[in-house]
Every structure is written in C-alpha cells, then in structure tokens.
C-alpha cells in the first residue's frame, strides 16, 4: 500500500489512464481475517458473493450478508473483517469521482454535493430496497465486463447509473451522522505513520507522538475506531505486507522478515503461524500451487 502526502492510499488502478480498480477477493487472504484500515479519494463499492463480513466505516460497524454490499464515500476510513474468522468472498471496486465529471457543471451540480455530503459517509446496500439492490447488480456487472472490449466505457456508464441512483435517493442532510471529528483526523495521522514506517522499529510512544496525543489517548482511539491496539494494528499490517512479498517475490523468508519490520526470521515465523495458522513457507507453497492451476 503506497501513501500520498496526506497519508491516503495511492491506488494501483487496473487500466493505466483510467482510475478503475476491480478485484474478486477472499477475507481469509488477510491476516486474522482483517483488511488494513485505509482511506482514499475513490468511491469504494463492495458486493458480498458468499459468506458475510463486518465492515467498519469511521468507527461505525455494519454486517454485510451474502448478496448485500456497501458504497463508501470518498475519504472515509474503512476496512472489512470477521472477528469469528469466517470466510467471505466479495467484489471490491474502486472508482475515482473524476469519471463522473464529464463537464464542470456535472461536477458542481451532481458530484461535489454528494462527495461533500456530511451525512453520506456510506450506504449499506440491502436486497430489500430496489435502488440499493440495483447498485449491487451494477457492481457485479462492472466485474463481468472488466476484460471485455470497451470495458472502460461500460464501467463508466455503470458508475454514472450508480451515482444517479445515489443522487435520487440521497438521505436528508440531518440524518444523525456527524461530520468527521478531530479524533478521526488524529487517528488517520497515526495510521499513516505506521504505514509509512512499518519497516522500522516503532514503539507505542512513536505512534502517539505522530498523532500529537498521549499514549493513553492513542490506545483509546485505536480501540474506538478499529477495535484493536496500536501494536496489534502494526503487527497485522506487517503481516499483510509480508504475505504480498511471499506471493509476489522469490525473496527468502528471512529477507522478508527484515523487509517488513519483524527483524528476525524466527520471530516472524512464530508470529505468522500464530495469526495465519501455517508457516510462511507453507503459505507461499499454497499460493504458488493456486497460481499454477
């Protein structure tokens, strides 16, 4: 995960000149069945194909069941997880709002009013509400055309339809949800610090200082918004980065341990087995077998 200067995620899009990212994924591919908390300028669309997961948006949790989904507005902190470690297969699509800005007037009248809408942090897409069910169908359609001719145009058209449905059904501005607080901005700074410095030795004090708060406040913010300690977040983020290297490189396990901030190979292997349930070597072997099929 690469970060911009403001600590938001720099997304690797699927099409070089088009800000579109499409992935089919399993929750078990993340350490402890928990994706890293992150935020970005893109609109995130999730459709659950099987199983279920919990989704955390700015500290608010919702349960996404099979055939349901979620639309997360730009620059909201979010992640999916399963405390019970149950499998969930899902589609994840990121689309930058610039795809909707075909003219300055469109951006002014239809895009920015929703992007900047304090009440519109996310929409839980349920199957019993027709317009929300329609958005879930469009998410699946986008995945189905990703490899087809003129995919970018078809995806942009589907995104415009999704945005039209959202615009027509937007909740009233005063719906009980609050503007992002200063505490959330502090937490984003601390998470950004971890993601930029995870290779180095990091203490709880270092994390707290990056947010200009005391260690007690630091721990309270992580517990409130993420449901875990700062050190646990750091460990799981390092594990996630190490899993990417195990899958995508031929680096030795000891090299990966150093590259991801674990220091020694034995400590890394012990931590990996604790959270993933197998050794790094076993995990790599399984991933290579899956890719070769």
Write out the DSSP string of 172-204.
Answer: PS-SSPPPPPHHHHHHHHHHHHHHHHTTS---H
Contact criterion met (CB below 8 Å) for 71 and 166: yes
Q: What is the C-alpha to C-alpha distance for residues 266 and 247, in angstroms, rounded to an integer?
A: 19
Please identify, among 168, 199, 221, the residue that sits at the C-terminal boundary of a domain. 168
Domain count, the chain: 2
22: DSSP letter: E
The pLDDT value given to residue 5: 52
Whether 54 and 156 map to the same domain: the answer is: yes
State percent of the chain over pLDDT 70.
91
Whether 153 and 268 map to the same domain: the answer is: no
Q: What is the C-alpha to C-alpha distance for residues 184 and 151, in angstroms, rounded to an integer?
A: 37
Whether 143 and 74 map to the same domain: the answer is: yes
Q: What is the C-alpha to C-alpha distance for residues 85 and 38, in angstroms, rounded to an integer?
A: 20
**Residue 245 host element (H or E):** helix 230-248
Please identify, among 168, 193, 212, the residue that sits at the C-terminal boundary of a domain. 168
Please identify, among 113, 143, 168, the residue that sits at the C-terminal boundary of a domain. 168
Name the nearest CA neighbour of 142 among 128, 153, 130. Answer: 153
Whether 51 and 196 map to the same domain: the answer is: no
| Rounded to 5°, angle at Cα 246 from 281 and 92 | 125
Whether 11 and 127 map to the same domain: the answer is: yes
| Rounded to 5°, angle at Cα 193 from 114 and 258 | 130
7: DSSP letter: S
Whether 12 is covered by a domain: the verdict is yes
Whether 113 and 61 map to the same domain: the answer is: yes
The pLDDT value given to residue 264: 86
Whether 176 is covered by a domain: the verdict is no
pLDDT tens track for 198-241? 999 999 999 999 999 999 999 999 999 998 999 999 999 999 99
CATH of the domain at 260: 1.10.10.60
Contact criterion met (CB below 8 Å) for 204 and 218: yes
Whether 35 and 58 map to the same domain: the answer is: yes
Contact criterion met (CB below 8 Å) for 27 and 88: yes
Whether 134 and 87 map to the same domain: the answer is: yes
Pairing state between β 43-51 and 88-95 = antiparallel
Whether 212 and 162 map to the same domain: the answer is: no
Contact criterion met (CB below 8 Å) for 92 and 30: no
Whether 173 is covered by a domain: the verdict is no
Beta-bridge mates of residue 22: 93
Whether 175 is covered by a domain: the verdict is no
The pLDDT value given to residue 13: 87
84: DSSP letter: T
Buried b (16+ CB within 10 A) or exposed e, 43-81: bbbbbbbebbbbbbbbbeeeebeebbbbbbbbbbbbbbb
pLDDT tens track for 45-79? 999 999 999 999 999 999 999 999 999 999 999 99
CATH of the domain at 119: 2.60.120.280
Whether 177 is covered by a domain: the verdict is no
Whether 203 and 149 map to the same domain: the answer is: no
Whether 81 is covered by a domain: the verdict is yes
Higher pLDDT, 171 or 221: 221
Whether 86 is covered by a domain: the verdict is yes
Asked whether residue 292 carries a pLDDT value surpassing 90, the answer given is: no
Within 10 angstroms of residue 235's Cβ, the number of other Cβ atoms is 20
Whether 64 and 207 map to the same domain: the answer is: no
Exposed/middle/buried for 175, CB within 10 Å: 0-12, 13-18, 19+? exposed
pLDDT tens track for 87-144? 999 999 999 999 999 899 999 999 999 998 888 999 999 999 999 999 999 999 999 9
Name the nearest CA neighbour of 283 among 243, 238, 236, 245. Answer: 243
Q: For residue 60, give the 3-state DSSP assignment.
A: strand
The pLDDT value given to residue 170: 86
Whether 76 and 202 map to the same domain: the answer is: no
Whether 34 is covered by a domain: the verdict is yes
Name, in order, each residue with C-beta under 8 angstroms of 248's C-beta and a sequence gap of 6 or more. none
Mean pLDDT of the 17-21 span: 93
What is the domain extent for residue 219?
A: 182-292
Residue that the structure tokens 């992580």 belong to:
222
pTM for the predicted model, two decimal places: 0.83
pLDDT, mean over the chain:
90
């Amino acid at each position: 995960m690469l970060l911009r200067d403001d600590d938001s995620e720099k997304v690797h899009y699927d099409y070089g000149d088009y800000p579109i990212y499409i992935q089919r994924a399993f929750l078990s591919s993340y350490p402890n069945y928990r994706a890293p908390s992150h935020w970005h300028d893109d609109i995130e669309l999730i459709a659950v194909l099987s199983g279920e997961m919990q989704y955390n948006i700015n500290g608010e949790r919702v349960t996404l069941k099979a055939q349901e989904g979620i639309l997360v507005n730009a620059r909201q902190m979010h992640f999916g997880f399963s405390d019970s470690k149950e499998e969930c297969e899902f589609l994840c699509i990121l689309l930058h709002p610039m795809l909707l800005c075909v003219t300055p007037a469109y951006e002014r009248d239809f895009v920015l009013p929703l992007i900047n809408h304090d009440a519109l942090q996310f929409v839980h897409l349920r199957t019993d509400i027709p317009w929300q069910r329609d958005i879930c169908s469009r998410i699946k359609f986008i995945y189905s055309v990703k490899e087809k001719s003129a995919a970018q145009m078809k995806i942009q058209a589907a995104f415009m339809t999704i945005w039209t449905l959202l615009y027509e059904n937007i909740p009233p501005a005063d719906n009980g949800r609050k503007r992002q607080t200063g505490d959330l901005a502090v937490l984003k700074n601390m998470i950004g610090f971890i993601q930029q410095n995870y290779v180095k030795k990091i203490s709880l004090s270092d994390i707290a200082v990056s947010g200009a708060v005391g260690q007690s406040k630091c721990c309270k913010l992580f517990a409130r918004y993420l449901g875990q300690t700062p050190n646990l977040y750091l460990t799981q983020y390092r594990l996630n980065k190490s899993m990417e290297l195990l899958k995508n490189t031929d680096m030795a396990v000891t090299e990966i341990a150093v590259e991801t901030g674990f220091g020694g190979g034995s400590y890394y292997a012990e931590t990996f087995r604790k959270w993933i349930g197998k050794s790094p070597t076993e995990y790599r072997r399984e991933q290579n077998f899956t890719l070769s099929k």
